[in-house]
Chain A
Amino acid sequence: MQKNIYEISKEGRRGYYFDTYDLEDYSKSFDIPDKFRREEAPRLPEVSENYVVRHFTKLSNRNYGVDTGMYPLGSCTMKYNPKINEVVAAMPNFSHTHPSWREKHVQGNMKIINELQGMLSELTGMPGISLQPAAGSHGELTGLMIMKQYLIDQGDVHKKNIIIPDSAHGTNPASVAMAGFIAKEVKSNAEGTIDMDALSQLIDENTAGLMLTNPNTLGLFEKDILEITKRIHDVGGLVYCDGANMNANMGITRPLEMGFDIVHLNLHKTLSTPHGGGGPGSGPVGVVSSLKDYLPGPIVKASDEDFYTFEMPAKSIGHVKNYFGNFGVYLRAYVYFLTMGGEGLKLASQLAVLNANYMKACLKEAYKVPYKALCKHEFVLAGLKEPGDVSTLDVAKRLIDYKVHPPTIYFPLIVEQCLMIEPTESESLETLDDYINILLKIAKEAKEQPELLHNAPTTASVRRLDEVSVARNPVLSYRFNGEEQ
């Protein structure tokens, strides 16, 4: 069993050394009054430095990252995280800067912010960019707040409904609720795109807007996108682009040209910043000219004398996060822009789409392909053609035994037994072929030795875990000496 950090702790060990304190004598005259003094000491582990290193190295060995191997999680864009990004982000003149220093002391940071605002503006077509949101869902919330403030200013307070496709990510309706709107679901048609008749029925004068990912979560480009955005504009609504799938579009099409008013980008997807095991991300928001004044701030403006200043947009919704967003994250995206260049980004999107279509073509012999059309950077499979009693979960767990990361499963909700595969441009033909061969082999195993799938994984650090008991009786922190919560 892998011990936890408390289980290797022993009283008296320490991991850090302090020099003698010059104010030791002075400190004797200070005492914390009883009413403020902590009564019960927090229990923290006591471990020597080298054993802390060993503990977390062991934990890292129980993880899987993009550097370990292919990680084709649909709608997550697990591409290569360039190492130069890490080197730059660790430079002390960036990482040791304080956000409350004066503008003249951090002109380097501000220039980077200003230039990155410009680059993201070019990537999306949107003239206004704010880097403050910290993640994709945070960007969604921000965009919806902008939408709401704009509608309030237009006197359209009755507009409360936001239309969302049934294939949308769960964050979309959750963000809608958090911004005080009401989510209305629109069905997808047999081709996997928005059902235009169903859409017409939902649109009325109470429509505040529509949220859409394009390409959508099925990996399909919404062919009626221009008509969709027009219909929403016709009733005075705004259209929000969930930019989670921008990796299909770079240099090919842009949210502005598709008719969107607001977009967020996931820099930790499209622009190569690492996911960090679940964060930190960065979710900048871009808007059309008429919404620029509503952006959260501050944002950075350049003056003629090459001096940069912070500015709060005139009708700003306010702040959505402390300071200027996740500078340490978007600094990496800035470096990615420089190392890739405009042409490199376009090529990345093209190859991401090529990789996805190639895998889809190779897998159709053994897996159900619910949508035959060309896909963009990702595609969905509706489980095995001949599943027997094997589920998509079993297929995913068996992939682990072959030392690769499974795709996203059971999402979008409208595809049964869904496997959602996004290979990204980072994977070579050989790696794709290996992954395809594993999936085909698993399809064969499902027929011949289904128990291999039911029992999988058997080669990971743990086997399938009991998720039911823990949800009934949650153990959410270490039980010291077996004590109850």
Chain B
Amino acid sequence: MHPYLPHTQADIDHMLQKIGVESIEDLFTDIDAKALLKSPMRLPKAESEGRVIRKLTKLGESNIDTANWLSFVGGGIYEHLIPTIVPHLISRSEFYTAYTPYQPEISQGTLQAIFEYQTMICELTGLQVANASHYDGSTALAEAAFMACGATRRDTILIPDTLSPESKNVLRTYLKYKDLNLVEVPSKDGVVDSDILKDYIHDDVAAYLVATPNYYGNLEDLTGVSEQLHANKSLLVIMSNPMSLSLFKSPGEWGADIAVGDGQVFGNPMNFGGPTLGYMACTEKLMRKMPGRIVGETLDLDGKRGYVLTLQAREQHIRREKATSNITSNEALNVLAATIYLSTMGLAGIYEVARRSHINACYLRDHLKGIKGIKIMHNQQIFNEFVIQVKDSEEVMKSLELFQIIPGIIIDHEQNLLLITTTEVHEKEDLDTLVVAMKEVLA
């Protein structure tokens, strides 16, 4: 028998007898013979742990050796240092082998952690209510678009062209099949001018969904934007890299109605892009329009504090086709990682991470600026990313590979634009290495 299957032949015989059938095959006589598989599935034979580990180690070696390469790649997924206690604690099997907390009396661990997470997200975004997470930042943004259309009973969503292509793509798919319109506002020098935005705010606009810092790493100046939108009964949705929120104005301070973003930066490895977690927060006014699970604090029969899933009448298992969303599974374990991360780092910790990520980018931008063949594309306030233009971006990427450096993402092949990202994992030495290597390959 297989190590994951505890049955002995004697057990099986005993059970068959109790059921009143002769063989295991007899348990499947209700399936139409035409629907039964005629031959075994063409799948590999079972392998021992030793062999599987060896095989996977080898497959891992077909990727670049992450420890020996220097990467300045971000654009939505970021490498930050992760305190060792984060993976350690989320590996406690009471957490990771539990289901959704449907029985609150034996799920207080998960529930309380989500409640603590909701509190931290409210604090970071400056809004009043947060849910228990979405699949990622982009799906959270798409659900915010639905939420805004539902709350305003309008059908047009405005986005700036500075939104990341990943988010635009997901949004486009979600809106298309629900027959909602997506309108893109053009940018100037890497940000949206609020005078230009003004011309796009019509009475069919449910919300303006803007990312700050945006895809180019630039901060959007949203002065007066929420007032413009609210005067038109439209909503403001702000997407952020939440690590930036210890330095820069929060969505709440900009007057946002809904805040979303990807929380991967808080204690979650890059994981080739997933799983991460999408956070969502909103004003108290929109609380009952919010999708997703929400944990609330209450008392038990003895007056003892405890936590439950609440406001469930919004959700699919009760509202069915009228639910605020179909979302069921979220990213609870990634939420737990983020909660432990934020508990460990505290405000001083994430401030320091954000500050170093920011200063590193400023330093790098400063030092690349002087190199012949490099143009800094925008003159804007940045967080930890910026765009440069070179003569041949493919060539630069290829040449730097010889130094085991990935300098960034080519975000525009025609214009040869490169998005460069730094975080606190980069030491001064790493930044200087890139500068020297760039000089060499562009010489």
Contact = CB atoms under 8 A, between A and B. Distances in A.
Contacts of B185: none
Among B31, B139, B363, max chain A CB count under 10 A is at B31
A44 B15 CA distance: 55
Interface stretch (A33-41, A198-206, A231-239, A445-453): A33-41
Nearest to A464: B301
Contacts of B52: 84, 88, 335, 338-339
A328 B110 contact: no
A276 B96 contact: yes
A223 to B, nearest CB: 6
A47, A251, A279 — most chain B CB neighbours (10 Å): A279
Interface in B316-334: 316-323, 325-334
B67 A92 contact: yes
Interface stretch (B2-10, B192-200, B370-378): B2-10
Interface string B329-373: 111111010011011111111101001101110110000000000
A173 B336 CA distance: 30
Contacts, number: 667
B214 interface: no
Given A97-B270, A100-B77, A277-B96, A88 B53 contact: yes
Contacts of B320: 170, 173-174, 183
Contacts of B115: 4, 476-478
Interface in A134-150: 134-138, 140-141, 144-145, 148-149
Nearest to B24: A350
Contacts of B166: 319, 322-323
A391 interface: no
B119 interface: yes
A78 B100 CA distance: 11
A101 B64 contact: yes
B119 A478 contact: yes
Interface in A262-309: 268, 274-281, 296
Interface stretch (B32-40, B201-209, B226-234, B434-442): B32-40
A481 interface: no
Given A400-B103, A426-B5, A279 B330 contact: yes
Given A49-B344, A60-B92, 12 more contacts: A2-B108, A40-B253, A62-B108, A66-B93, A95-B270, A108-B60, A135-B330, A321-B139, A322-B274, A337-B44, A344-B5, A429-B11
B274 A325 contact: yes
B112 interface: yes
Given A279-B332, A318-B176, A2 B112 contact: yes
B77 to A, nearest CB: 6
A90 to B, nearest CB: 7
Interface string A461-473: 1111111011100
Nearest to A78: B99
Contact of B428 (A22, A41, A137, A257): A22
Nearest to A318: B173
B85 interface: yes
B248 interface: yes
B354 to A, nearest CB: 10
Contacts of B62: 107-108, 111
Nearest to B97: A65
A180 B321 CA distance: 10
B132 interface: yes
Contact of A465 (B102, B300, B334, B427): B300
Given A21-B356, A342-B42, A470-B298, A63 B107 contact: yes
A247 to B, nearest CB: 13
A38 B94 CA distance: 38
B170 A319 contact: yes
B45 A44 contact: no
A318 B182 CA distance: 15
25 contacts: A27-B355, A30-B362, A36-B249, A39-B249, A42-B123, A44-B347, A46-B348, A56-B340, A63-B98, A67-B94, A105-B64, A137-B327, A141-B326, A226-B32, A277-B96, A280-B135, A280-B330, A320-B170, A339-B46, A351-B5, A354-B15, A462-B304, A466-B298, A470-B297, A476-B297
Given A22-B428, A321-B136, A342 B274 contact: no
A32 B358 CA distance: 10
B145 to A, nearest CB: 12
Contacts of B60: 91, 93-94, 108
Contact of A105 (B34, B63, B176): B63
A123 B315 CA distance: 31
A25 to B, nearest CB: 11
A314 B77 CA distance: 27
B245 interface: yes
Interface string A418-441: 000000011111010000000000
Contact of A183 (B112, B273, B321, B356): B321
A179 B272 contact: no
B7 to A, nearest CB: 6
Interface string A252-263: 111001110000
A374 B137 CA distance: 44
A357 B363 CA distance: 67
Interface string A316-334: 0111111111111100000
B308 interface: yes
Question: Which 4 A-B residue pairs are closest in the complex by CB-CB distance?
Answer: A323-B273, A276-B333, A99-B273, A341-B46
A190 interface: no
B274 A324 contact: yes
A386 interface: no
A159 interface: no
B395 interface: no
A27 B354 CA distance: 13
Contact of A464 (B73, B107, B300, B327): B300
A426 B6 contact: yes
A33 B311 CA distance: 40
A196 interface: no
B186 interface: no
B263 interface: no
Given A45-B343, A462-B105, A326 B245 contact: no
B22 interface: no
Contact of B73 (A100, A177, A277, A345): A100
B88 to A, nearest CB: 8
Contact of B308 (A56, A274, A373, A467): A467
A339 B132 contact: no
A59 B109 contact: yes
A45 B349 CA distance: 11
A216 interface: no
B37 A253 contact: yes
A84 B311 CA distance: 38
Contacts of B75: 100
B45 A71 contact: no
A13 B342 CA distance: 13
B120 interface: yes
B188 interface: no
Contact of A223 (B4, B30, B272, B329): B30
Given A170-B320, A277-B332, A16 B381 contact: no
Interface string B42-74: 111111010011011101111111110001010
A187 B6 CA distance: 39
Contacts of A182: 321
B109 A251 contact: no
B245 A38 contact: yes
B366 to A, nearest CB: 9
Contacts of A353: 24, 27-28
A267 to B, nearest CB: 11
A177 B323 contact: yes
Interface string B401-427: 000001001000000000000000001
Contacts of B20: 361
A323 B272 contact: yes
